[in-house]
């Protein structure tokens, strides 16, 4: 029988990955400026949300009204649209 991860395990896995990416982009020393490193971090986070990293994919949807109605999932291609 397959062991499914709990919500807490998924959360910690995602946050651990983000912490790893923050460390990576903080330590990179190849002449990139702060903006380029921040854009790299953002791209890495979007890639993880889209499922293109060691974690994910994740569902990301807007809450569209005061009743808490959830709209359509916007994840899946976020990292591809980031540099448009």
Domain membership of residue 28 (yes or no) is yes
Domain membership of residue 58 (yes or no) is yes
Q: What is the pLDDT of residues 33-69, one digit of tens each?
A: 999 999 999 999 999 999 988 888 999 999 999 999 9
**pLDDT of 26 strictly over 90:** yes
What is the number of domains present in the chain?
A: 1
Domain membership of residue 77 (yes or no) is yes
User: For position 29, what pLDDT does the model report?
Assistant: 83
Could you list the residue range(s) of the whole structural domain that residue 21 is in? Answer: 7-81
Domain membership of residue 22 (yes or no) is yes
**pLDDT of 2 strictly over 80:** no
Looking at every residue in the chain, the average pLDDT score rounds to 91
The model carries a pTM of 0.82
Domain membership of residue 75 (yes or no) is yes
Domain membership of residue 2 (yes or no) is no
Q: Cα dist. 68→7, 45, 61, 63, 76 in Å?
A: 20, 25, 11, 6, 22
Domain membership of residue 1 (yes or no) is no
Position 84 confidence tier, pLDDT thresholds 50, 70, 90: confident
């Amino acid at each position: 029988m397959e062991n499914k991860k709990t919500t807490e395990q998924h959360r910690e896995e995602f946050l651990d990955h983000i912490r790893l990416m923050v460390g990576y982009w903080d330590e990179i020393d190849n002449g990139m400026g702060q903006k380029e490193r921040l854009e790299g971090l953002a791209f890495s986070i979007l890639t993880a949300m889209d499922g293109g990293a060691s974690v994910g994919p994740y569902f990301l949807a807007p809450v569209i009204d005061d009743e808490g109605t959830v709209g359509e999932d916007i994840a899946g291609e976020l990292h591809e649209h980031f540099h448009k």
